[in-house]
Amino acid sequence: MKKKSKRKIWLIAIVAIVVIALIVVAVNKGSKSRGIRVSVEPVEKRTITESVSANGKIQPAVDVMISPYISGEVVNLYVKEGDEVKKGDLLAKIDPEIYISSYERAEANLSSQKANLANAKARVAQAEAQFVNAKLSFERNKSLWEQQVISDADFDGIKSNYQVALAEVDAAKQSVASAEFAVKSAEASLKEARENLTRTTIFSPTNGKVSKLNIEVGERVTGASQFSAGTEIMRIADLNDMEANVEVNENDIVRVSLGDTCEIEVDAYLNDIFLGEVTEIATSANTAGVSADQVTNFDVKIRIFRESYADLIPEGDSTYAPLRPGMSATVEIQTETQHNALTIPIQAVTTRADTTSKEEEESILKDDVNEVVFIVEEGKAKMVKVETGIQDNMHIVIKDGLEEAQEVITGPYRAVSKRLQDGNEITVVDKKFLFNEDED
């Protein structure tokens, strides 16, 4: 009985050892086969459009600031904000009384100068008549003096009278010239007074809508001068032709060209995307109010196609403007498009230094860092150096290094960016199960 009991114990012990060994082998085998859990996506051909994002404001393409040429009190306003106006329509009137007085004074001065001119011309005729008489007397007495009929003293007096008469003719003619200049000056003053009087009435220089009205009847305004633009009375804008004025970062402006297509989102219309094109690119940076440590931007103007927001205009109301000056806008400027290009998700591309030494890796130069992706090859990750091209928000073009249908590792981010090395064993799982278990 004792021998049977011992044999049974040994048998149980052997079975237990075998079971434990099988469990250990299975666990080790399972852990080794699991590897690093990753998700993959195939290399595919797509149409990729690279874009530059920018923010700005909606503005009319034609926005005219109306300010007076003269100063005075506004006595009449013939429009209100929002009114449609045509070129030549009456907008406002400035008190003309002081300018009427100036015009009448200039008119009177012109009449006075014309009278002076007529008087100067009469003096010329008188001086010329006196000169003719003095000349005849001089010629007659000269022959008598040559015959010694009259004395030298008498002839000298006659000669002096002749020279005085000649000088008076010249002086009278100069007086006429001076009077003529005075008349021209008076005419210029009258013209200026007439122009100032005319400018008390302000007309619209263009077609459009009164987008802004800054004054009320009774307020005083200042006229424009070489030192000031004057008081802004109102603005007239063509709201049928709108543009987005945005700021583009200096790193992106080199990729923007005239005529680039744009997609425009306006905060007031969150569910709509409008279309436009780049019409103007600033050649100098926008430095107004920018300090040395701030980002440098360039102004870019984008014309918005009216057809892209035609559905927002009520039928029968062609003057309605859904886009208004000052609205905030976000713009995607499409700078380049490639069709049928090999692409992969952006997150699949990472960088690796071309070194195996950690010390060297820490001091590696930027030029020694390569763009790489990891592809799946026989259950392992294989690092492949690639050359990338343009990209959109989701995908990037691969110029060299990959072929269509190859599977590239896209996640998790920590594995792609740091953990994965060439030859690591991996386990491919669906994205939705990628984080069901801890990576470690």
Is 169's pLDDT higher than 50? yes
Most confidently modeled of 26-40, 230-244, 315-329?
230-244
Rounded distance between C-alpha atoms, residue 290 and residue 292, angstroms: 7
User: How do residues 231-245 score in pLDDT, each as one tens digit?
Assistant: 999 999 998 899 999
Is 60's pLDDT higher than 80? yes
Residue 164's pLDDT is what? Answer: 84
Is 435's pLDDT higher than 80? no
Rounded distance between C-alpha atoms, residue 168 and residue 102, angstroms: 37
264: nearest Cα among 60, 62, 63, 58: 58
Residue 184's pLDDT is what? Answer: 93
Residue 2, both tokens: 């004792």
Q: What is the dihedral of CA 280, 282, 287, 293, to 10 degrees?
A: 100
Rounded distance between C-alpha atoms, residue 344 and residue 334, angstroms: 20
Question: Which domains can be identified in the chain, with CATH numbers?
Answer: 34-47+342-433 (2.40.420.20), 52-58+242-337 (2.40.30.170), 63-95+200-235 (2.40.50.100), 98-198 (1.10.287.1700)
Residue 128, both tokens: 């010329």
Residue showing tokens 């543009």: 243
What is the pTM (predicted TM-score) of this model? 0.65
Residue 101, both tokens: 């007085």
Give the least confident one: 191-200, 276-285, 413-422.
Answer: 413-422
More confident residue, 151 or 356: 151
User: How do residues 396-434 score in pLDDT, each as one tens digit?
Assistant: 999 988 888 899 989 888 888 888 888 888 888 888 777
- Taking residue 8's Cβ as centre, other Cβ atoms within 10 Å add up to 10
Residue type, 298: F
Is 143's pLDDT higher than 70? yes
Q: Is residue 6 classed exposed, middle or buried when 0-12, 13-18 and 19+ CB atoms within 10 A define those classes?
A: exposed
